[in-house]
Every structure is written in C-alpha cells, then in structure tokens.
Amino acid sequence: MIENVSLSLGHFSMQIDSLELPDSGVTALWGPSGSGKTTFFNLLVGGISVPGWSWKMDGIDLAKLTISDRQLGVVFQSYELFPHLSAEKNVRLVFEARNSGNFSEAVAPYIQKLNLQNCWHTRAADISGGEKQRVALLRALMSKPRVLLMDEPFAALDPASRLAARETVHSLLQELQVPTYLITHDWDDVRSLAQNVIHIKAGQFSDVKKVDK
C-alpha cells in the first residue's frame, strides 16, 4: 500500500492518496513516456524523497527504512553494471554485501538458466545488451530481495532478443516467486509477464486490474 505521495517536478505532478500494490506475483505499472512511471520507480528505490509518504508491505513501512534496509532487488533500464568488472564480479559484489553463504553454490543453478556461461568471466563493457540484462537480473535476485523492481528491462533490446528475454525472465520469476513491480510502456511486456496491471497516465494511477491474457 502506497499512501500520501505528493510531488511536483517542473510541470509534472503526482498525487497518490492511496494505491494498493499487490504483494505477490508480477504487477506491471504501464503507461506512455512521460506518464510518471520512472518517477514512481525512483520514489520506490529512494532516488526521490517525499515527506510523509508511506509504503507498507507485510506490516513494514518501507518508506521509513534506509535504502539498504528496504531490501530491494533493482534492475535499472541502463542496467548499471560496473563496465570494468566481469559479469561474475558484478553479481558477486551484491551477493557478498547481503549474504553470508557460498557465492559459487548460490549462483551455479542460474548461470545456465540465464545462458551466462559464455560471458561469466567477460567484462560487462564487452558483453551484449541481452547478456547485460540477464546479469543485472541475476545480480538483483542474488541480493535475496523483499521485492524486485524492474524499470523498462527490455527496452534496449532488439525485437528478437526481447522475445527471448521475456521468456527467460517469466520462467525465472515463476520459479522464485519474488513479488515484482515491472515498469514498462510496452503492453507485450505486461501480457507476457504480469498477472496484475496499474495504468499510469499524467501522474494518475488506475486501480489494480487483472491482466487479460
């Protein structure tokens, strides 16, 4: 549940008195460019500060926690990988910051599922867009997040890669059952991945609706 959001950025404004966010499955926040999707994403990940707002999940107000204590897994639109580090080291950094277990054992089942075996020891600067997207997803999931946030994760991919990436992500999310909020302008993303959808237009949010497959 999101409550008491009131912000203005230039000519853009967003007002949320109360918004019910499902705490399971994949919920898409869908709307055109400029609708407020990324602004909302930045609010959730801590990039924007709004006095007095709340984000309650499982009885905890995440808005009152520090960014690290919110335990978010985040996949940014630009992926935000360290270009000079290998795919493996990008994932390892986040895993070791949040976990005390064995990294190699934890990550092993997912390297093949995400088809990362050929780029695992390659610098992020030298791998393809699709590989970057999958590395960013694995990095987010290896943080053992309370909730996964994905901002336009397929937008930078070509159509063929986008189709394959959706299938891979759908399979992995079905397996792991991590509550996920997907920011997207593309209805194909919604139809392929989400069970629920919230339409955003000019900073206004619809109620949650079931996705008609």
pLDDT digits (tens, 9 = 90+) for 99-150: 778 999 999 999 988 999 999 999 999 999 889 999 999 999 988 899 999 9
pLDDT for res 9: 86
The CA distance from 144 to 60, in Å, is 17
Indicate if the alpha-carbon torsion angle 162, 168, 172, 177 is positive or negative: positive
With CA atoms as reference, report the closest residue to 156 among 179, 171, 134, 139.
134
Residues sharing a CB contact under 8 Å with residue 147, sequence separation 6 or more, in sequence order: 57, 71, 72, 73, 178, 179, 180, 181
* Confidence band for 60, pLDDT divided at 50, 70 and 90: very high
With CA atoms as reference, report the closest residue to 128 among 92, 177, 162, 173.
162
**Where are the domains positioned within the chain?**
84-144
Residues facing residue 13 across a β-bridge: 8
What letter does residue 50 receive in the DSSP assignment?
-
Three-class secondary structure of residue 27 per DSSP: strand
pTM: 0.90
6, pLDDT greater than 70: yes
